[in-house]
Amino acid sequence: MTFHAYVDESKAGDYLLAATLVEPARATAGRAAVRALVPPRQSRLHMRGEPDRRRRLILAALVDVDASTVLYRAAASRAPTQVARRRACLARLVGDLAGRSDRLALESDESQDARDRRDLLDLTRAAGCRDSLRYEHLRAAQEPLLSVPDVVAWSWARGGEWRRRASRLVAGVVDV
């Protein structure tokens, strides 16, 4: 079975790279479910700035999106910089996606997109999926499914109630 992967990060505490996996046939329904959660006059769904009541509603609604999220966690003690932690997480993610995914969509961050492209060229080559895994950087407003890893990463990093609520969306945590 082939999946599409949607990726975002959290830099609060340990570095978390959240990869949400969606079967391509279920992506359209997933996008519609996420769009239904976006308030009027907002271009995207985002946990920061939302009141707690709304955060609970978002997490409960995302359980119905047919997707699972894997968190790749890199502790500061394992890599000296966030750049190194991100690369380590991407390396493990690409290895896990090789042969299982043909699309990797990452939330765009102009400060790291060029570096990501260089790293992903090397990482996909090393994992043997250079010709089968295409990757792109997009804004969450362009690709609603990028909101899912954003919500999961934010919730997991916050801990407590938010981590408990997000745990139903998490397929696993991989320490790199």
Find the domain containing 57 and state its range. Answer: 3-175
Number of domains into which the chain is organized: 1
Dihedral angle over CA of 106, 111, 117, 122, nearest 10: -110
CATH code, domain carrying 17:
3.30.420.10
pLDDT at 11 over 80: yes
Residue 87: the pLDDT is: 96
> For the segment 120-149, what is each residue's pLDDT rounded down to a tens digit?
999 999 999 999 999 999 999 999 999 999
> Which residues sit opposite 176 in a β-bridge?
none
Which pTM does this prediction carry?
Answer: 0.95
